Amino acid sequence: MIKLQHVSKTFRVGKNKIEALKDVSLEVNKGEIFGVIGFSGAGKSTLIRCVNLLERPTGGQVFVDDQDVLGLNKKGLRQLRRKIGMIFQGYNLLETANVYENVATPLRLEGVSKEEIKARTDKYLEIVGLSDRRSAFPSQLSGGQKQRVAIARALAHEPEVLLSDEATSALDPNTTDAILELLLKVNKELGITVFLITHELNVIQRICDRVAVMENGRVVEQGSVVDVFTRPKEAMTKQFISNEAKFLIPASLKSELLKSGKLVKLTFLGESSKDPVLATLAKQFDVLPSIIAGGIDQLKDQSVGNLLVHIKGDQNKVETAIQFLHEQNILVDEVKG
Ligand X SMILES: Nc1ncnc2c1ncn2[C@@H]1O[C@H](COP(=O)(O)OP(=O)(O)OP(=O)(O)O)[C@@H](O)[C@H]1O
Q: Which residues bind ligand X (CB under 6 A)?
A: 11, 13, 18, 20, 38, 40-46, 199
Nearest-approach distance from CB 319 to ligand X, in angstroms = 43
Nearer to ligand X by C-beta: 9 or 157? 9
- Compute the residue count for the chain: 337
Nearer to ligand X by C-beta: 20 or 264? 20
Q: Is 4 exposed, middle or buried (0-12, 13-18, 19+ CB in 10 A)?
A: buried
Q: What is the DSSP string of 211-275?
A: EEEEETTEEEEEEEHHHHHHS--SHHHHHHHHTT-TT---HHHHHHHHHSSEEEEEEEEGGGGGS
Nearest-approach distance from CB 98 to ligand X, in angstroms = 30
Nearest-approach distance from CB 331 to ligand X, in angstroms = 28
Strands 218-224 and 67-68 turn out to be: unpaired
Nearer to ligand X by C-beta: 38 or 261? 38
Nearest-approach distance from CB 16 to ligand X, in angstroms = 9
Nearer to ligand X by C-beta: 214 or 266? 214
Nearer to ligand X by C-beta: 42 or 107? 42
Buried b (16+ CB within 10 A) or exposed e, 33-57: bbbbbbeeebbbbbbbbbbbbebeb
Nearest-approach distance from CB 239 to ligand X, in angstroms = 15
CA-nearest of 54, 50, 49, 53 to 5 is 50
